[in-house]
Structure 1
């Protein structure tokens, strides 16, 4: 089946008909200067039917593609105050330049309505004024209505179903990867245009050497928002329980200076800490290794505000200063504090051989104290032939968590989880007409310490006997991690763009852990089998070859072939101190075939092969108490995975009709040499590893369509996806094949029915089924449905009354109702520059949410405590 899919994709791409590419420049007749934003239209010969169109860019250049069989065509150039020029041409690829003159237009009265979306070269311009309405309070609200753009729940922005790689404000990168600060705090009334920079290479000097298929967002502000200080504040209070929601936002944007500072404090269930999420990777990083945790179930599939009991405070200060010679200096400081609380009941059925299962019932109470801060300073220069970046980042995390579990007995957990990190990234690029030189360097260090305390003592057989009933277990784990990555690249332009790079990477890790018995304040070690002292060093040399060339006028081919040698040295001081060395040679090709099928349609076919070896988290052999009922260790067997990935992306884009679509399908085949098994002794779980081939196959297909219907003042988006997974699992000693299927359908609809009524509807349904083959253990399919309906009524311009309802359905629930309903009411009144807002959430006072989740290890039945009905009154006003 997979070979048929591959052949089908290859046939589809290669069998597309040849196309006509017409390009040229448009200049002014009098001054001889380039004319931008002129509309270039392609018609059937002497016919008004438009076949394709585009606009000239800032250099006066245009490019238009036609995929058809007309022998002759008509090409026309027009624009405001430009005299229309028309030429009849043959249907063949050619260069046609235009010289245009002015035309005086005498009109009595005209109403100019700016288009919602227009395209200039690789830039799409979304007119914010045409998309926003009276209910939009932040930029994020408007972005969600723009076709082709998605905003995920975590704040990440997608264009054509792919994450953006940069977010600019007036062409400056103020916020780096934390652009949620802007989307959640910028007023859409201050923004003129949202630009999508397609095929955006953030390093200008690399545009011709390392092309990018990703997009970026750039905000163009209104003149009234430039060069002035903008400041707003909000005060909020409510009841059941005592609620508060306060914020202070200040910003300043000019040609040389940008500032954005935010403080927010909230305990009403709104996750203000999510505004500080890192939404794309800026650099190599030293990854966190959280071995220990307080056991908690998965989060419920409802709005986070329904179940989040928190007390959050965030503060962020961001400053960018333009210096001389195209240099900029930026500083970003972020701080977040939160106290999320959870209370839930769970019933877990772990699958065992045959028809048996292990049932575990728990009541969980937990409170997490999050305390996190990071700061970075960056010097940057970015021109067409030179790039420099030097970034220093410091971060700290001081998290603590308390938990209490009732399983018949009362169990207490406490986790300390501090992390300290420091890193530096340097990048230098220099280019001329034919050559490119690039040097990159990264160095980072993290110190991660964890301490998990559990009482009473649960592992009597492996720890010394306790003399006191107040004794407890203490698991200590500390990881020190130093990572360095260095690279030198040489590139050359020509018919074939060639890049050659030589990399040298180092990673040195040191993991120490020990399980102790604390009895009458005396700590007693549990023995060598309960401790680890592992040092792991990895040294990697990589030769990277990259070639790119064009195939005809509308097809590009990219070949990447990294060859890397990896040396891994491990020394376990807790197991005799012997050093074990492993050597690996990897060849990992990566192929990309891109084709522009027409002015609206483009295709990308990709293949990659990669190999990985297990890391330090799979190398330690001493037992570690990762949670109160999980005692895990590895058998010392190293795994090596080989992964083939084939994916195809088909994008449709028509700014003229405001319709966008994207279809993506991924096939992944991973070969592993190991199977992991989790053995249960009562409620305690132990991990073991078996050497057995394991082929993991997965297929994922995703379709997204977005359309703006300007005639009826509405927009919609549709999303459908299918997932298939196949692998092997071990169930208490028995190897069984596991398969899962999942289908999901959903959509969004927004409409302004008239001047007084705004309507929104969101729906998503999911069907999934799992099957264990050899074990004879079928799992019933599960159907989930969620939908949200919102009405906003504007009886007068200053007043908005809103009502929203949510419905959730889960047919896996065997007792109780499968349906859950929520409703919210809000009133908003604006008096000059002051907004008064009253929110009444959870009108039905729904206090419990029930969920059932199936996966390859078992069934999880979970009941969550939800926030009660609450009233919150807020006042938002401008300070400056």
Structure 2
């Protein structure tokens, strides 16, 4: 009872010791001043004892406890003069009248870092890297340090291709991300994210690590309807350029459709190429890429911007749709159609360097190419934490043809080629839990058909095809049918720091090659000019992949054991071969994360590579008008040893990225190819059984740094390649050595707020050595200088120049190209009115040189003339 009374006394004392001050805050006209801050301060200091905020009527009430005899009371409000008074420390009513007062605020500049890192995610803020001249997100990506965009649109991060390209975490385009890169307006994007160590399959995320990176586009709005539309017209010749690309991105739906057409040299067909490393590997393993057995003699295309030399007439139509369904399923449909007509004009001067003499030929060429293709892909996918399912049904059809008119040493030659290709395939992958491990089922089935025909007038290779007598025409027909399947089952299990994945599977490839050479003089040349080849290849494999991760170390060891079977026969030629071989092809990779900035990676692997059907056929095939090939030899077998070592540094805080990579490939080949070069440049290729070695060294490095204070990005890069191998040329064993060195830099800087400068340079030094003969060094250099001016907020003017210098056999050639661009933007309507003048100095010819294994090819290429284009562009 005493304790209870004592507690009551304490509470009462605390209540009665509290001070309450209240009142009203008004202005000089006695109007309430709401949201005023009333502070009780320790006298003569800024120490706050208590505070209150006046309500809508200007009333305030502040309660506090203090033992001081006097306190300060202060009233503050934006737009009014601050009042501070000293009063006695007791409960009171105190009213305040505030007088209005204006304040001049000091300018505050808030700077944010252009790059941030959170875990394995590196965020590039688009606004920090965009320029006034940019229109698509692809334009901005080229300025981001650590990210490299190649000429074909492929994106590299720290020198390695990305494995996925997402838009808001969804894979709409399945590797064909150029469609988004070239058409998605950058103003709709807030961030470009690099997802390091990205495992695209969620069910394996905690079981299998990945050292590859993905790219994710973060949009500003959850619902985004955007895209672009443009229409252009010009002259010399009559020009057109049109593009309409609407896009829709929501949480459950993504859509990108496009129709593009032009004859201005812009190769929009590159937007349909699969570029992610995962899709490229699948394309190679499944033998699904279009292969041309026959060809016409082409001109070596210049190694600078296609828009200066590509004479095209292209139409592209593509639709891409992704819909999220129930239970984490996604349905994706990709459809594209391409129609293109291209022309090439020029001549080539070729020198074949043989151990005995040098053979020179001159070819004037006019080629016409017609491309028609249809590609569809329907995919149903589920990517959940415990389950993964993906089934893709794909069809590809190519209806291509080419015409070639060549004058060889003043003798006309006409070529007509039809090179079609058709493929239908289904790819299934299913991952699901069974007990404490994950089961993975893979199944790929594909059917390919390749009907191709080449006709040449007049007939060639008279000594082989017509008893050394001239004749009118030769025709080569090729028909290849292919069935291929690859099936496997594996399970993945985690044991402490280890992840173990045993896999067993089989591959079967069955191909039938039918080919025949026909001449105007003889429709039945004999069996040695007709292939009726039945090719059967099977592979049964057992593979254990073991991963180990501890602290900064990551190891991966793959130990595949493969049993290969080949059965090849050509009954009319009574030729056949059977091969059974077991191979062991281990691979070890090691990754060491030194710290958050430095990473070291290394790998070594051994592999056995066997020949394909186009490397062994017992009868002749006329590949082009001056290449007749017959490979009556055993199945090619190569034993390869690959070693790589790389160091990478990235510091997002300092916006500095650097990497260096060394790769060495050694191969032991059981076949040696023999090339017989005739005086007219015609070549015959044969193969003999003779072991020979090929050694290749490649080292490359790239460093990029962004300086935010001066808004500048600087990139330096270098690559050195050295090859050593042997080849039979005109029955003489020849040692060949090729070496290439490329050095380059790229600078993008803002001189002032109204002037931006872009400079890029590359130097290439190529050298060839045949036996002990040192051949001339070919030096090539290119310089690109873009001066960008912003005379007003809605105006843009650019002078784009390109200088190319080639040191050829006996002379040096120089080319200068200059383009002018003026753009006026109707800001309110977001419409660009643009005028382009390309090739101001009307440079219409380009000469360059290419070094092959035992030849130098000097090419004179006809370029696009000066042209003017008026364009209207707006964002959807």
Instruction: Check conservation: 1:456, 1:472, Cα contact below 8 A.
Output: yes
Q: Give the equivalent residue in structure 2 for 1:549.
A: 548
- 1:399 aligned residue: 400
- Once superposed, which parts of structure 1, at least 4 consecutive aligned residues long, lie more than 6 Å away? 107-110, 465-469
**2:425 corresponds to 1:423:** yes
Deviation at 1:460, TM superposition (A): 3.4
TM superposition shift of 1:636: 2.2
Per the alignment, in what secondary structure is the counterpart of residue 288 of structure 2?
Answer: coil
Q: Does 1:825 align with 2:826?
A: no
> Which residue matches 2:526?
527
Work out which of the residue numbers 597, 616, 628 in structure 2 matches 1:619: 616
Give CA-to-partner distance per residue, 1:566-603, whole Å, 9 cap, x none: 11111112312x65321011100100111011110011
Q: 1:744 and 2:742 equivalent? A: yes
- 8 Å contact kept, 1:286–1:482: no
Secondary structure in structure 2 of the residue aligned to 1:340: strand
1:638-686, Cα deviation, whole Å (9 max, x unpaired): 2210011110111101000000111100011100012111112332211
Q: Distance in 2 between matches of 1:109 and 1:265?
A: 49
Alpha-carbon distance in structure 2 between the residues aligned to 1:400 and 1:530? 24
Give the distance between the partners of 2:411 and 2:585, measured in 1 at CA: 53
Distance 2:843 2:115 in 1: 43
Residue 377 of structure 1 contacts residue 393 of structure 1 at CA under 8 Å; is this kept in 2? yes
CA contact (8 A) 1:264 1:272 kept: yes
Q: Please report how far the alpha carbon of residue 214 of structure 1 lies from its aligned counterpart in structure 2 after TM superposition.
A: 0.9
How much does 1:464 deviate? 5.7
SS of 1:339's equivalent? strand
Which of the two has higher C-alpha Rg?
Answer: 2
Report deviation, 1:112.
4.4
Instruction: Give the corresponding residue for 2:693.
Output: 695
Alpha-carbon displacement from aligned partner over 1:12-42 (angstroms, at most 9, x marks no partner): xxxxxxxxxxxxxxxxxxxxxxxxxxxxxxx
My pick for the range that moved more, 707-716 or 683-692, is 683-692
Tell me the distance in 1 between the aligned counterparts of 2:288 and 2:274: 14
Contact 2:821–2:836 (8 Å) recurs in 1 = yes
Deviation at 1:779, TM superposition (A): 0.6
Deviations 1:36-87 (A, max 9, x none): xxxxxxxxxxxxxxxxxxxxxxxxxxxxxxxxxxxxxxxxxxxxxxxxxxxx
Which residue in 2 is equivalent to 1:662? Answer: 659
Tell me the secondary structure at the aligned position of residue 621 of structure 1: strand
The two structures have a TM-score, normalised by structure 2, of: 0.85
Q: Secondary structure at the match of 1:622?
A: strand
1:805–1:108 CA distance, 2 compared to 1 (3 A): closer
Q: Deviations for 1:587-629, whole angstroms, at most 9, x for unmatched residues? A: 0010011101111001111000000111111210101111011
Measured in 1, the distance between the counterparts of 2:434 and 2:646 equals: 33
Distance apart, 1:862 and its partner CA:
1.0
Query: How far apart in 2 are the matches of 1:846 and 1:461?
Result: 43
With structure 1 as the length reference, what TM-score do the two structures score? 0.84
* C-alpha distance 503-110 of structure 1, shift in aligned 2 (>3 A): farther
**Offset, 1:719:** 0.6
Distance 1:491 1:670, change over 3 A: same
2:782 aligned with 1:793: no
Q: Which residue of 2 aligns with 1:260?
A: 256
SS at match of 2:444: strand
CA drift at 1:431: 3.5
8 Å CA contact 1:486, 1:503 repeated in 2: yes
Which residue of structure 1 lines up, in the alignment, with residue 493 of structure 2?
492
Tell me if the contact between 2:597 and 2:650 (Cα under 8 Å) persists in the aligned partners. yes
Residue 698 of structure 1: CA displacement?
0.8
What is aligned with 1:778? 774
2: CA distance, partners of 1:231 / 1:736: 57
Equivalent pair of 1:763/1:787 in contact (CA under 8 Å):
yes
Describe the shift of the 1:484–1:216 C-alpha distance in structure 2 as closer, same or farther (beyond 3 A). Answer: same
1:275: how far off?
1.2
In 2, distance between residues paired with 1:391 and 1:250? 25
Q: Alignment partner for residue 686 of structure 1, among 684, 687, 700?
A: 684
Q: Take 2:869 and 2:291, find their aligned partners in 1: how far apart are those partners?
A: 39
Q: Distance in 2 between matches of 1:349 and 1:110?
A: 68
Q: CA deviation at 1:465?
A: 8.2
Residue aligning to 1:443? 445
How many angstroms apart in 2 are the aligned matches of 1:605 and 1:738? 29
Deviation readout 1:484-542 (Å, 9 max, x if unpaired): 000100111013211100011111111110001246xxx81321111101011111100
CA contact (8 A) 1:114 1:127 kept: no
C-alpha deviation, 1:219, in angstroms:
0.6
SS at match of 2:139: helix
Q: Which residue in 2 is equivalent to 1:251? A: 247
- How far apart, CA to CA, are the structure 2 residues paired with 1:406 and 1:108? 76
**Alpha-carbon distance between aligned partners in 2 of 1:314 and 1:536, rounded to the nearest angstrom:** 37
Asked if the contact 2:173/2:334 (under 8 Å) is kept, the reply is: yes
CA contact (8 A) 1:434 1:494 kept: no
Paired position in structure 1 for 2:481: 480
Query: CA–CA distance in 2 between the matches of 1:231 and 1:644?
Result: 47
Which of 694, 703, 706 pairs up with 1:705? 703
Where do 5+ consecutive residues of structure 2 fail to align? 1-104
Does the CA-based 8 Å contact 2:633-2:689 persist in structure 1?
no
**Offset at residue 274 of structure 1 (A):** 1.0
1:304-323: CA deviation from partner (whole Å, max 9, x where unpaired): 11111000110100000000
**Equivalent-residue separation in structure 2 for 1:589 and 1:208 (angstroms):** 24
SS, match of residue 203 in structure 2:
helix
What is the DSSP-based 3-state SS (H/G/I as helix, E as strand, rest coil) of the residue aligned with 2:459? coil
Instruction: Supply the RMSD in Å over aligned alpha carbons.
Output: 1.8
Q: How big is the shift at 1:810?
A: 1.2
**Alpha-carbon spacing, 1:762–1:467, altered in 2? closer, same or farther (3 Å):** closer
Distance 1:828 1:687 in 2: 55
1:331-372: per-residue Cα shift (whole Å, max 9, x none)?
000111111110111111111124x11111100110100001
SS at match of 2:179: helix
Deviation at 1:433, TM superposition (A): 8.3
Matched with 1:47 is none
Distance 1:858 1:231, change over 3 A: closer
Distance 1:839 1:699 in 2: 44
Counterpart contact for 2:459–2:470, Cα < 8 Å: no
The residue number in structure 1 matching 2:629 is: 632
Greater Cα shift, 680-689 or 281-290: 281-290
Measure how far apart 1:813 and its partner are.
4.6
Once the two structures are TM-superposed, the CA of residue 459 in structure 1 deviates from its matched residue by: 3.4
Question: Judging changes above 3 Å, is the alpha-carbon distance between structure 1 residues 231 and 179 closer, same or farther for their aligned structure 2 residues?
Answer: closer
Q: Does 2:571 match 1:573?
A: yes
Q: Deviations over 1:732-775 (max 9, x none)?
A: 111122112222110110011221001100001111222122xx
Instruction: Pick one of 143, 146, 149 that aligns with 1:148.
Output: 146
Pairing partner for 1:646 from 626, 639, 643: 643
Name the CA distance, whole Å, in 2 between partners of 1:778 and 1:771: 5
Secondary structure of the structure 2 residue equivalent to 1:311: strand
Cα distance change of structure 1 residues 853 and 463 upon mapping to structure 2, 3 Å threshold: closer
3-state secondary structure, aligned to 1:140: helix
Alignment partners' CA distance in 2, 1:314 and 1:427? 31
How many angstroms does 1:818 deviate by? Answer: 2.3
Q: Is the 8 A contact 1:423 1:444 kept in 2?
A: yes
- Deviation larger for 730-739 or 836-845: 730-739
Query: 2: CA distance between counterparts of 1:314 and 1:346?
Result: 32
Give the match for residue 275 of structure 1: 271
CA-to-aligned-CA distance 1:82-135 (integer Å, 9 cap, x gap): xxxxxxxxxxxxxxxxxxxxxxxxx99965443211111111111001110101
Tell me how far apart the structure 1 counterparts of residues 675 and 436 of structure 2 sit (CA, whole Å). 58
In structure 2, the residue matched to 1:582 is 579
When residues 134 and 636 of structure 1 are mapped into structure 2, their CA distance, relative to the original with a 3 A threshold, is same
1:185 corresponds to: 183
Task: For 1:458 and 1:644, locate their aligned partners in 2 and report how far apart those are by CA, in whole Å.
Answer: 41
